[in-house]
Structure 1
Amino acid sequence: MMPVSLPITPVHRLCVAAAAARYHEPVWLLYGILATEGTRPGQIVRDGNGSYDMGPMGINSIWLPALSLLGITRAEVLDDGCQNVAIGAWILARKLQGHQLPQSAFTHPRAFWRHVGDYNSATPHWNHQYRQRVDLAAQRQYFVALGGH
């Protein structure tokens, strides 16, 4: 699975919808991750382990060697909002591999959410905190989409 690049640079609903469709992921889940990461194109957040997260989906620098093999540059990851969302969806798809989405979110919720947490960290404590934040953010995004405030 290779990330898809779209011609629109800012993070836009079309970017999220295209990435979700390409990797067969729920749109609400990508919005939950976007809201949890809370960053924007061009933004870098340093992690305590010496790595750093880039752009709207918080793509960690540990992914740069694998992305380089696919012809994706650090600049694209950092500055192209749509490419960043597509890469985040690609990473999430790798973590959720083998799950039938969106059904598995309801039929095997513990495994599903553990793998969502793996997007951020495999360490149980950080994984648990992250997946709770993504779940809450996704619920908020859904509520707002329905016209709530």
Structure 2
Amino acid sequence: MLADVPPNFEERIVCSIAMAIRYEVPANIVLAVAEIENGRPGQWVANTNGTHDVGPMQFNTAYLNQLSRFGITPADVAATGCYPYELATWRLKGHLVRDTGDLWTRAANYHSRTPKYNRVYRRKLMTVASRWAGWIAERFKVREVSQ
């Protein structure tokens, strides 16, 4: 089923889809965020505001302060395996459920709530998610679900 993807993307795809199912978030959106963020386990990228984006899903360290009370560490979001995808999908679900705006604006809040940055990410997210929706539809039995 995943024979047509490079081996280094297999974890990204499997973990993104598994966490999308767990958190009831559209899989194409989780896959799109993972592709756009394009992080790697152990990766730390410095931002101009003094924070860092960490791991495969480039989870911002500003959010880690909130999660430390649950025992979640930078090493957890930088790790290999599905846990970084779980944390990111949990955060994405929070934006989809609690934020305002259309689906794409709320999903783009994963990157930034600042309107000018959100708009750029939103456009990219819509394009990449559309491509992933096609990829999923070609390989899996899918059905539309509405709230």
For the criterion TM > 0.5, the same-fold answer is: yes
Tell me the equivalent position of 1:122.
113
Tell me the equivalent position of 1:134.
125
Percent of aligned pairs with the same residue? Answer: 33
Cα RMSD for the two superposed structures: 2.2
Aligned residue pairs total: 129
Q: Secondary structure at the match of 1:50?
A: coil
Cα distance in 2 between the residues matched to 1:98 and 1:49: 25
* Cα displacement (A) at 1:122: 0.8
TM-score of the pair, normalised by structure 2: 0.78
Is 1:112 the counterpart of 2:111? The answer is: no
Cα distance in 1 between the residues matched to 2:49 and 2:12: 31
Cα distance in 2 between the residues matched to 1:112 and 1:78: 27
| Structure number with higher relative contact order (C-alpha < 8 Å, ≥ 6 residues apart) | 1
5 Å-filtered alignment, 1:1-149, equals 11-97=11-97, 111-145=102-136, 146=138
Structure 2 unaligned residues grouped into runs of 5+ = 1-9, 140-147
Structure 1 unaligned residues grouped into runs of 5+ = 1-9, 100-107
Q: Secondary structure at the match of 2:97?
A: coil
Q: Secondary structure at the match of 1:85?
A: helix
> AA paired with 1:72?
I
